[in-house]
Amino acid sequence: MSAGKKKRFGIISALAEEQEGLIQAMHHPVRHVHGMREYTVGTLWNVDAVVVLSRIGKVAAAMTAAMLVEKFGVTHILFTGVAGSADAAVRVGDVVIAEALVQHDMDASPLFPRFQIPLMGLANLPSDLALSSHLAGAARTFLEAMSGPAVHRGLIGSGDQFMHDGMRLAALKNALPDLLAVEMEGAAVAQVCFELGIPFAVIRTISDDANEHAATDFMHFVKTVASRYAFGIVEQFCRDWVGSQEAAEEPVLISMPGPGVDTN
């Protein structure tokens, strides 16, 4: 049990619906208000956690991530929310876990290549592989029961705009062919975590196709499905995480009655 205590997870969402139920599920929650945000510190399924709503957009998300690390001492960050699809194979209701994130509205060309973060030398910011794999495992376990939603892993793009224009999305996809989803916060959290050396992962449930119907699809989806997914996947993630930490910390083999021992 001690393993879950040493590490502290920051769990960020942009919107209240994306995080519904998490604070209620917390043990010993303590609220702190700082910089116009409410940080709730407590325990989620034996994981030491700080849950917070960043609000929408890259600056809001960056500020929240930095505060989680510097003021609340988190060692890991998870971002859970919804996103628009940027690939025909990624359907509404599917889940995308970021392998890397790009700020798709970053363009300091011709000084730097388009999408590259100036003076950082990078456009695609990698998420933590181990954490993302844990998250993908949790998402698969949770979604298995529903037989339908797929779990994708790949590139997520973030920008300070709600993408609701098929032509614009097509142009972006042309410039970033690997793009699976678009949202408004993930790559900002990625930059903060990259610069501060904090392992992080981003999971997004697809709420819309980032086209002309995006606004209505988004509203409907966020209220009905997104919150259930986020809660279920975070719960599964925490349970798996504590299990894996305990297993890693206690290499002593405990003798268990073996399955199918047949003495006949």
Q: Binding residue for ligand SAH (CB under 6 A) from 163, 179, 180, 187? A: 163
Q: Is 181 helix (H, G, I), strand (E, B) or coil?
A: strand
Residue 90 CB, shortest distance to ligand SAH, in Å, is 12
State yes or no: is 212 an active-site residue.
no
State yes or no: is 18 an active-site residue.
yes
Q: How many CA atoms lie within 13 A of 90 on its CB side?
A: 27
Q: Binding residue for ligand SAH (CB under 6 A) from 3, 11, 14, 50? A: 14
| Between 91 and 239, CB nearer to ligand SAH | 91
Residue 100 CB, shortest distance to ligand SAH, in Å, is 17
Contact track, ligand SAH, 203-242, x by CB under 6 A: ----xx-x---x---x------------------------
Residue nearest to ligand SAH (CB): 84
Residue 85 CB, shortest distance to ligand SAH, in Å, is 8
How is 138-171 classified by DSSP, letter by letter?
HHHHHHHTTS---EEEEEEEE-SS----HHHHHH
Of 51, 49, 28, give the one whose Cα is nearest residue 39: 51
Residues in contact with ligand SAH, counted by CB under 6 A, come to a total of 19
Residue 96 CB, shortest distance to ligand SAH, in Å, is 11
Q: Binding residue for ligand SAH (CB under 6 A) from 143, 182, 190, 233? A: 182
- Dihedral sign from CA coordinates of 126, 60, 25, 220: negative
Q: Binding residue for ligand SAH (CB under 6 A) from 125, 184, 189, 234? A: 184
Place of tokens 């205590």: 5
How is 213-244 classified by DSSP, letter by letter?
THHHHHHHHIIIIIHHHHHHHHHHHHHHHHHH
| Between 17 and 99, CB nearer to ligand SAH | 17
Q: How many CA atoms lie within 13 A of 38 on its CB side?
A: 8
Would you say 131 and 202 are in contact if contact means Cβ atoms under 8 Å apart?
Answer: no
Q: Binding residue for ligand SAH (CB under 6 A) from 48, 154, 160, 162? A: 162
Of 222, 217, 176, 264, give the one whose Cα is nearest residue 56: 222
The verdict on 82 binding ligand SAH (CB under 6 A) reads yes
Chain positions contacting ligand SAH, by CB under 6 A: 14-15, 56, 81-84, 162-164, 182-185, 207-208, 210, 214, 218
- Residues taking part in catalysis: 18, 208
